[in-house]
Structure 1
């Protein structure tokens, strides 16, 4: 038995201008990041980022039922994490 031919569209579907987007845009006028934004900035999974937030590794505050990460504290923390480590054994 032969299957019927399926016609494929020749052009990609258009998206309405008011359609919701899945792109996270990091706005400079907000004081905090969401956990999802920090996960993207660090290239981590959302679950791993939540774990680091709950453990206190990433500086965050719980407001109501939502975790927020203050931008200034996050970038200070990140700068401290990325400083070159000094090796007392001379391995560096």
Structure 2
């Protein structure tokens, strides 16, 4: 005996508003240090002298993810030449 079975297919997620996205748009200095395998001290020095693109927000440094990855991609392209 065959049963009629209705199979529910999950609905694809609705496109979300980037402003309400749960992932932060910035990295912390500690996160960038980990990504680059550098010490926090070297990373802070690079942020302060402008080598790594960053913004000062109050007493805190933040690194915008897009700017960081664009900067990093440019550094990697320069090394290939």
**TM-score normalised by L of structure 2:** 0.69
Q: Runs of 4+ in structure 1 displaced over 4 angstroms?
A: none
Q: Provide the C-alpha distance between the structure 2 equivalents of 1:40 and 1:85, rounded to a whole number of angstroms.
A: 23
Give the match for residue 70 of structure 1.
64
Q: Provide the C-alpha distance between the structure 1 equivalents of 2:73 and 2:35, rounded to a whole number of angstroms.
A: 13
Once the two structures are superposed, residues 41-76 of structure 1 have per-residue CA deviations (whole angstroms, 9 ceiling, x without a partner) of 000000000000000000000000000000000000
Q: Provide the C-alpha distance between the structure 2 equivalents of 1:36 and 1:79, rounded to a whole number of angstroms.
A: 20
Give the match for residue 54 of structure 1.
48
Q: Structure 1 stretches of 5 or more lacking a match? A: 1-27, 87-92
Q: Give the SS at the match of 2:72.
A: helix
* Aligned-CA RMSD value: 1.2
How many correspondences in the alignment? 59
**TM-score normalised by L of structure 1:** 0.61
Q: 1:81 is matched with which residue: 64, 75, 81? A: 75
Q: 1:38 is matched with which residue: 27, 32, 38? A: 32
Query: Which structure is higher in RCO with an 8 Å CA cutoff and minimum separation 6?
Result: 2
